[in-house]
Structure 1
Amino acid sequence: MRPTSSGTRKPYGGTTRGLVLALDVGTTFSGVSYAILEPGEVPKIHGVTRFPGQEHVAGNSKIPSIMYYDQSGEMKAAGAEAENVTTMALAEDEGWVKTELFKLRLRPKTMKLKMNGMRLAPLPRNKTAVDVFGDFLAYLFRCTRSFIVDTHANGPALWNAVEHDIQLVLSHPNGWEGAQQTKMRRAAVYGGLIPDTDEGRSRIRFVTEGEASLHACVLNGLAADNPSGHGFIVADAGGGTLDISSYAIKATAPLVIEEIAPPDCECVFAGSVFVSRRARAYFEEKLKKSKYGTPDSLDHITKRFDETTKRLFRSDKELQFVPFGSPLDKDPTVGIRSGQLKLTGTEVAALFEPSIQAAVASIQAQIEGSGGAVKSVWLVGGFAASPWLFAQLQERLARYGVAVSRPDTQTSKAVADGAIGFYCDHHVSARVSKFMYGVEYLREFDEKDEEHVARRHRLFELPSGPKLLPDAFDCILSRGVKVKESTVFSRKYCTEVTNLSTLSVFEVEIWCYRGGNTIPKWILRNAEHFSTLCHVRADLSPLAGSATAKQGKNGKTYWTIVFNIEIHFGLTEFRARIKWIDNGKTK
């Protein structure tokens, strides 16, 4: 057993037995952790350590995020089973479609992928990105059910007792927001993990990979070694993204941690898969005149590079070899002898370099964003196991007086374990706002202002008389503000309606601005740095009875409606609501 968060976990306060599952769908590998919630007992974190197709590997807690679909769009194999020889032979004979890196398809539109000229493979027939994600969630869920039923004493009875109220924690990159969380929730419904009801959807919690990794570091006792008040960065280096978050310990008994800089929301696509993509492009160029330059050979050599050279590489001064064939494979003109491709240390280091540079730049920005409070970096995630990445970050960050360390236990499981830690322990009490959030309002027209005059064609008049311009931005929360979980941001607004029936479908759009720290005056609807965060809808028709009719400037009848918009930002999932007073009661 590993140490828990220094014994700070509280006993489970529920009255009936429960189960919480953390499904960590990674770009290249995925895993599941869970805790059985027994009333009055302190929950223990378990990992699913047996998956179909991996029975021969004891204690392996990760499976590849890969699936095969047949021509009609039905999933035929997933995970480790998708990589066995039988499946691959069948796939070739039957013309199955291989689906990988599908998580990257859910990313926000603003996040551009630098894929070295390579593209994401097309989706299977009749499937959307959400469907594919849902199929994989369903597969992980089935594997988890089998593992729990087979592993625990009275496993079948345990599963039957909890299966209609299983709590799920889904982790995602730091830069993902409400739109991506909604897609993941839809995927869970599609995969049959939850029913398509309010009760079903409420069984899902979201946590960023950065915050889940923080909880994993706490589980590993790293918080105990960190002096109170010192800032630290958790860098989760996975297959696809590098997620970076900055925190400081504010209290130790109980442990209270606060975020101290806005998380890096650019979603740095610098994970290990991009080292492999660069390697394949490099091998293609290097071997183009050789018989080993065929697509199949390149795929095989890249796979062997992934499994050996990439994982073990630690020095750019030593020759490197990619073992891929038999002693009979040779082509001295391209450096192939006895079934091995020879590379210089410098060639391999160059494949890592863009990812390392992106990581250093992102960490450097966080150090500056924290006002120099950061003194250490904790490196977790599957890519953290790379000796070269670790040594390079240590060397390049030393000039900022920042120490880099990594937990000694299995870093690749950090997100799934940490997601359960997040559910049970909830150490983070304050988060820092990533962007600016606000709503559209109507600004009174000023004929002396050039900007107003330029927008004159959009001018309209309210029934009560004033001339107004649409698309003005009212900022409710600025970027970089520390927000406690309990904080509510509220603003009062009023609107005039000429038809009371429109109140039944009253809607307010919440906008997000990512263009920096200066509050914009206007919402630019098609600009990249503006996006809709969510729509808040309410049925305000009960107000029709208490609203007083007034006569407008041109004799038209209108009603004034007053309401508040409340936004909860301090949670891992954004929430907003409309509040109004009806006959003296708050609704």
Structure 2
Amino acid sequence: MYNGDEKLVIAVDLGTTNSGISFAHLQPGAAPRVRSVTRWPGQEDAAGDSKIPTLVRYKEGKPIAFGADAVDDPDVEGGPVSYLASWFKLHLHPSTMRSSSNIAVPPLPPKITLKQVYADFLSFIFKHAVEFFTTSAHDGERIWSRLNNTVVIILATPNGWDSYQQGFLHDAIVVAGVLPQGFEPDRLQFVTEAEASVHYALEHTRGGEWLTAGAHFAVLDAGGSTVDTTVYRCVSTTPKVVLEEVTGSECVQAGSVFVNRDAERLLKLKLANSKFNDSAFISAMLDVFERKTKRRFDGSDEASVIAFGRMQDNDPSCDISRGRLTMTSDEVKLAFQNSLADIMDSCARIIERSPKVCDTVLLVGGYSDSAYLRATLREKFAIRGIQFITADDSTKKAAAEGATSWYTKQLVQARAVRAHFGISLNEFFRDSKRSLKLESERPEAKYIAADGKPKIGPILSIVAKKHEVISVESRKTFKYAHHFASKPDIEEMRNCSMTIFAFDADTPPDWVYVRHSETKSLSPGVRRVCEIVCDLSTMYDGFKSEVNPKGQEYWTIEYEFEVSFGTNSLQAEVQWKVNNVYKKSPLQAIPGSFV
């Protein structure tokens, strides 16, 4: 039963190839019921399908069609040219993910920014979700009129996304008009697609047959662009299911669009000397490959037939007869080869990191419809005795429904950090091996602070280690003591900040910046996650006057940052003491790429 205030929750899974929206009208004392939007413009023949193609067509700088309606090119000879925005989610992936895939990301339409594409698409699907709710829910118009100013939006994002992508989506939601400028922070929430999917999967599989306290299991969410894998430990099953991540999740850019990419390369090679090596023919072939071949192919020796053309379309030299292209089993396997290799490696890595045997993997996401993907996983991990359970319905977006369930159930109570997180710190110089090592590397980094004590830095001080499991309730506390030779002006205290850095590899460097870098270039592999900013002017009276060993006066102020790394979005507070009483204030986290 739901025990909070009456609320409308809308969850969005904006995927690379398809998107979906689910919602729930939460009422005190009633069991939450999750529903999906199953009616989209241009998809009247696919009633009940909750997926809408993630497409926007532009003409003269304005959106003219969305989803299925955007597929067909409406251009007429001599008229304005239209441009299709597709796979635009790939533009938002972190640079480390983009560089690993070598995929040619379709360019955005001329003079259209990525944020505008996101805003236009989000605006469109949100308006139709509201229309669906108001016309299909009992008393929907009145409910929407009563609750629209407090509606909560949940966005499902890949495991590999962090605060930069969340900040981008925050702005896009405002530009789209989904939420107003300056909305209350709790009205927009983020959940990883994998965590949303585990909520969906446990509702759509017979978890009671295998889920027991202490069991370790994985969820593999195979989507359009990314394949996310997370391993969980079941802490308890009664009175409610409670889960914990046991190691950092995996996220590889090996989704179904990469099978399409390699299939296109294969077709162009196969048809190199044929009249059918034409963009229109290849596009028609890829459409059939996407809808039928990719899903049905199971790895057997049987050939696959792609019916793309007319009876008079023939070319025996490349296996085309009566508008039908025949592909051998080995040819189709080549289209899957790179994607499956990355998925197998990613799945093996996380299973090997699990502290206990992981004997069940739940498969969700549109790509998990592939019979060949499922067969390859079962063959690869058969020796480990792992069972693979398909928990998805091909007409649904698991992450969208799961994100709505996540809001009320919150099954996951501890999460594993995917990278090392740290802050820039000037350490006290001590007569230790570490301090002497740092001094030998950069003697110029050692200095005497205002309090008269030797320090060295800036050092990358790791505060959350890669794969460390952190409870959603716990927080990391950073104690700061700033020393000034003279008392700062109060205005200088209004915009104080602390940068959170991340390092994705296994062994982080000691130094934040490259040596002798005038522009403060970060050490290789170090990246800015966000800047935590706050107004410290309210604690100005907390400055203390002290005297260093040389008899010089200096000023000190002490405060603490509290940062939560166990939540899906980074949260922070600053606290300080006044007359032995702690005071707290929330902080704003500005994504690193926006600073």
Query: TM-score scaled by structure 2?
Result: 0.91
Please tell me the residue identity of whatever aligns with 1:77. A
Further displaced range: 533-542 or 323-332 = 533-542
Residue number in structure 1 paired with 2:512:
523
* Structure 1 residues 345-394: Cα deviation after superposition (integer angstroms, max 9, x where no partner): 01101111211111111111111111242111111100111111111111
Q: Does the residue aligned with 1:431 lie in a helix, a strand or coil?
A: strand
Q: Does the residue aligned with 1:181 lie in a helix, a strand or coil?
A: helix
**RMSD across aligned positions (CA):** 2.2
Quick check: 2:101–2:253 contact (8 Å CA) kept in 1?
Answer: no
* Structure 1 residues 175-215: Cα deviation after superposition (integer angstroms, max 9, x where no partner): 1111111111111111111011141x430110001101100
Q: Does the residue aligned with 2:529 lie in a helix, a strand or coil?
A: strand
Residue number in structure 2 paired with 1:106:
92
- Aligned CA distance change for structure 1 residues 90 and 214 (closer, same or farther; 3 Å): farther
In 2, the alpha carbon distance for the partners of 1:539 and 1:499 equals 17
**Is 2:498 aligned against 1:508?**
yes
**Is 2:147 aligned against 1:162?**
yes
CA shift at 1:113, angstroms? Answer: 4.3
Residue identity over aligned pairs, in percent, reads 31
Quick check: 2:221–2:365 contact (8 Å CA) kept in 1?
Answer: yes
In 2, the alpha carbon distance for the partners of 1:433 and 1:465 equals 37
**Is 2:480 aligned against 1:484?**
no
Further displaced range: 228-237 or 556-565 = 556-565
- Aligned CA distance change for structure 1 residues 536 and 114 (closer, same or farther; 3 Å): closer
CA shift at 1:416, angstroms? Answer: 0.7
* Structure 1 residues 488-542: Cα deviation after superposition (integer angstroms, max 9, x where no partner): 22132211123422222221112222221x4542224524421122212222223
- Aligned CA distance change for structure 1 residues 249 and 455 (closer, same or farther; 3 Å): same
Quick check: 1:546–1:583 contact (8 Å CA) kept in 2?
Answer: no
In 2, the alpha carbon distance for the partners of 1:390 and 1:91 equals 46
Q: Does the residue aligned with 2:406 lie in a helix, a strand or coil?
A: helix
5 Å-filtered alignment, 1:66-465, equals 66-71=55-60, 73-83=61-71, 85=72, 88-89=74-75, 93-115=79-101, 118-199=103-184, 201-228=185-212, 229-253=214-238, 254-264=240-250, 267-407=251-391, 409-410=393-394, 412-445=396-429, 449=436, 451-465=438-452
In 2, the alpha carbon distance for the partners of 1:115 and 1:32 equals 28
* Structure 1 residues 278-336: Cα deviation after superposition (integer angstroms, max 9, x where no partner): 01111112212111112232222222221221121123411111111011001111111
CA shift at 1:91, angstroms? Answer: 10
- Aligned CA distance change for structure 1 residues 554 and 79 (closer, same or farther; 3 Å): farther
**Is 2:41 aligned against 1:41?**
no
Residue number in structure 1 paired with 2:4:
13
Residue number in structure 2 paired with 1:568:
564
User: Which structure 1 segments of 5+ residues have no match?
Assistant: 1-9
Instruction: Give the count of matched residue pairs.
Output: 568
Q: Does the residue aligned with 1:141 lie in a helix, a strand or coil?
A: helix
Quick check: 2:21–2:400 contact (8 Å CA) kept in 1?
Answer: yes
Please tell me the residue identity of whatever aligns with 2:545. A
User: Which structure 2 segments of 5+ residues have no match?
Assistant: 514-520, 584-595
CA shift at 1:114, angstroms? Answer: 4.8
CA shift at 1:551, angstroms? Answer: 4.8
In 2, the alpha carbon distance for the partners of 1:527 and 1:97 equals 40
In 2, the alpha carbon distance for the partners of 1:552 and 1:541 equals 25
CA shift at 1:90, angstroms? Answer: 6.0
Please tell me the residue identity of whatever aligns with 2:291. E
CA shift at 1:459, angstroms? Answer: 3.9
Please tell me the residue identity of whatever aligns with 1:123. L
In 1, the alpha carbon distance for the partners of 2:82 and 2:109 equals 9
In 1, the alpha carbon distance for the partners of 2:75 and 2:349 equals 47
Q: Does the residue aligned with 1:261 lie in a helix, a strand or coil?
A: coil
In 2, the alpha carbon distance for the partners of 1:343 and 1:221 equals 35
Please tell me the residue identity of whatever aligns with 1:360. M
Residue number in structure 1 paired with 2:518:
none
* Structure 1 residues 413-432: Cα deviation after superposition (integer angstroms, max 9, x where no partner): 21111001100111111111
- Aligned CA distance change for structure 1 residues 29 and 90 (closer, same or farther; 3 Å): farther
In 1, the alpha carbon distance for the partners of 2:77 and 2:527 equals 41
Q: Does the residue aligned with 2:9 lie in a helix, a strand or coil?
A: strand
CA shift at 1:555, angstroms? Answer: 7.6
Quick check: 2:49–2:396 contact (8 Å CA) kept in 1?
Answer: no
CA shift at 1:21, angstroms? Answer: 0.5
Residue number in structure 2 paired with 1:7:
none
